[in-house]
Amino acid sequence: MRLFLSGPMGSGKTSVARAIARRTGRALVDLDANVAERAGASIEEIFRSRGEAAFRALEREELERVLTDGATDAVVALGGGTVVDARSRRAVLADGTLVTLTAPAQVLAARVAAQEGRPLLAGDDARAVLAAILAERADAYAECHGTIDGSAMSVDEIAERVLETEHEAPVVVPLGARTYRVEVGAGIRGRVVLRAALASAGTVVVVTDDGGASPWAGEIARELRASGRSVALVALRAGEANKTLASAERVWDAALAAGVDRGGLVIAVGGGMAGDVAGFAASTLLRGVAFAQVPTTLLAMVDSSVGGKTGIDRPEGKNLVGTFHQPRFVLADVETLATLPAEERVAGLAEVVKAAWLDGEGAVAALERDAEGLCAGEVEPTVRAVRAAVKLKARIVADDERESGPRRLLNLGHTVGHALEAAAGFSGLRHGEAVAIGLVAAFRVARSIGRGELGHEERLVQLLERLGLPTQSADVPSAVRAFVGADKKRTNDRIHFVAPAAPGDVEVVAIHTSELIGALTSGH
């Protein structure tokens, strides 16, 4: 994987990239130097004679060349403004690890003072220009795997930190100033102390439920306390029936009793229920305090902890009251899954399969290779699968944070799945099991409107079976019939349905509810 260094002029991109290349033996690419060489002119001359827009176009072309033809493990020093272009930034994020180097404006100004050939600084007060550049590019620079303020570090120390970030390999959810990282691994929950310190200096409220998640929450609360933090621990009653306003009130009250102010931090440790309630409480407490997630169910790791949807249930339905409130960080430690009942863990694999089908052939083939290991709960395959599913979700959320378009794709398998859950009164059938059956049903519906082939459905069924998931239920037609009248995605008598075909070829279509019922009852 390539390693990209970004950051303003004077942040040390080139020297740090050189130090890393020397230390690791990896190829070195200096994007500015490549542009200058190909153009036969210095960067300053290109700016002067052709203007910034022309330079940016050359820079984009050069980056494209590096991404398609360059050494796949190269260390690449980007130009200071390369990542301002959203497409370039996303391409770099998708390709490898992107680290932003930075420092306060006066430090940068002192470093560049003696250098020549800095076109954006020509004739101006360097400190003011650099401060303006930092402010203007803040959102773009934030979208990265890690930011390192190297003002008090040597080049070698910065290089060390960059390599650490690359090794930790977080998944980035790129949302400008609200960008956050999802770390996936085995035995990584201890990082919570450092991550919490970066997110807030105030009181921490750890929220869990009184089921199997609570020992993990206890451990995390103890570690935070041992680091000197003031910590309140709230254990809600477990179960979907407690995803209520009363539970949110318990979080508010415990936080206020502990003296939380706007600088406080709420950390959910547990499954989707604790996460949804804690996130909702955090988003409304004092008009919003920082929030983080340490998911301990597979479903929470691959789905509910990423994306920022929070919510509570009402008698009229699930998740009818809620907010969008992105976490500051997510730590998914698959070691915590060791205490999760096997059926709960396996149910979570349905969302993993869904994500892989949305992603494409490579992701589905990877699950097929790992199926037995995943079913048995082996650590390495689980880390790989969780990371892949989170990456896919991060990409979709980045394109559509508030679910007005592409994010609807994440509902693949959920229309029929939700109908089945509702028919079972949200008990008896696990969410993931309902989604697995819903995924298979989605292929039948898709075929009835001319999308996909029987072979795709057969491939999916085989994969689900190897993972230990159900693929059919005699209740589907009646559940869907009962449900379509109440489906919140319904528009007049048409609903948005996520119709799959080959892996990576999934689209949202509007179909009549009668077509949906017909497809599921006709025995296609």
Residues forming contacts to ligand NAD in the complex (CB under 6 A) are 209, 211-213, 216, 238, 240, 243, 270-274, 276, 296-297, 299-300, 303-304, 307, 309, 318-319, 336-337, 339-340, 431
Active-site residue flag, 458:
no
Least distance to ligand NAD from the beta carbon of 53, Å? Answer: 40
- Considering the complex, what minimum distance in angstroms separates the CB of residue 272 from ligand NAD? 2
Among candidate residues 279, 232, 228, 271, the one with its CA nearest the CA of residue 255: 232
Please indicate whether residue 287 is annotated as part of the active site: yes
The number of helix segments (H) and strand segments (E) in the chain equals 22, 17
The two structure tokens encoding residue 208:
């869990």
Residues near 352 by beta carbon (within 8 Å), at least 6 away in sequence: 298, 302, 367, 374, 385, 386, 388, 389
Closest distance to ligand NAD from the beta carbon of 484 (Å)? 20
Q: State yes or no: is 407 an active-site residue.
A: yes
- Which is the catalytic residue, given 250, 328, 354, 418? 418
Q: Is 465 a catalytic residue?
A: no
Residue whose tokens read 């998944």? 171
Distance CA 301, CA 477 (A): 31
Three-state DSSP state, 114 = coil
Nearer to ligand NAD, 102 or 304 (CB): 304
Q: For 459, how many CA atoms within 13 A lie in the half-sphere containing its CB?
A: 17
Question: Between 347 and 511, whose beta carbon lies closer to ligand NAD?
Answer: 347
Of residues 62, 143, 183, 351, which has the active-site annotation? 351
CB distance 487 to 479 below 8 Å: no
Q: Which is nearer to ligand NAD, 200 or 310 (CB)?
A: 310
Output the smallest distance, CB 15 to ligand NAD, in A.
42
Q: What amino acid is encoded at 115 in this protein?
A: Q
| Cα 352 from Cα 374, distance rounded (Å) | 10
The smaller minimum CB distance to ligand NAD, of residues 4 and 329, is found at 329
Shortest distance, position 494 Cβ to ligand NAD, whole Å: 25
Pick 45 or 240: Cβ nearer ligand NAD: 240
Annotated catalytic residue 524: no
Measured distance CA(392)–CA(463) in Å, rounded: 19
Q: Is 411 a catalytic residue?
A: yes
Gap between the Cα atoms of 293 and 295, Å rounded = 6
Q: Which residues pair with 206 in a beta bridge?
A: 233, 267
Catalytic residue among 242, 345, 411, 457: 411
Catalytic residue among 195, 229, 431, 447: 431
Catalytic residue flag (residue 403): yes
Other CB atoms within a 10 A radius of the CB of residue 177 amount to: 9
Told to judge if 13 belongs to the known catalytic residues of this protein, a careful annotator would answer no
Residue closer to ligand NAD by CB (options 184, 238) is 238
Determine whether 414 is an active site residue: yes
User: Nearest approach, Cβ of 146 to ligand NAD (angstroms)?
Assistant: 25
Catalytic residues: 287, 309, 351, 393, 403, 407, 411, 414, 418, 431
